[in-house]
A = this chain, B = another copy of it.
Amino acid sequence: MSIPFSRRKNKGSVFERQLIKMFWDVGWAASRIAGSGSSSFFSPDIIAGKNGRVVVIEAKTSSDKKKYLSLEEVNQLREYAGIFGAEAWISVKFKNNNVKFVSLNNVKNTSKSVVVSVDDPLLFSFEDLVKE
């Protein structure tokens, strides 16, 4: 049974708010971006920074062991980060509040999508991300 879009969307914004709080709690500034998906210009879900280090993040939730993102979404994130001079990351919240991060430099492309697997050795914890 598929989850209605409105519920999925809500789950996503709850996770985004969770990430924002995690960043502030460790002394970073972080914000959710307005209208990602609805604006005519691409925007990531989250931007966070500290002392000149800037990260832009697409935030996803998954009830499975893998999360697929479209190549288009990933390429737009890469382009946005490239202009900004920021790091591009994907964050996935898997089951049991298992929040992981993967750098766009380390994701695996298939022909049409990018997959983030819960057991990928290149995944970062939040602590790793902010201390990198």
Contact = CB atoms under 8 A, between A and B. Distances in A.
Given A20-B39, A39-B20, A41-B20, A31 B49 contact: no
Contacts of A44: 31
Interface stretch (A4-12, A66-74, A81-89, A118-126): A81-89
A25 to B, nearest CB: 10
Contact of A49 (B20, B53, B54): B54
B34 A85 contact: no
Copies in the complex: 2
Contacts of A41: 20-21, 24, 30-31
A50 B85 contact: yes
A40 to B, nearest CB: 8
Nearest to A43: B31
A47 interface: yes
Closest 9 CB pairs of A and B: A52-B85, A49-B84, A32-B34, A29-B83, A34-B34, A31-B43, A31-B33, A29-B84, A51-B85
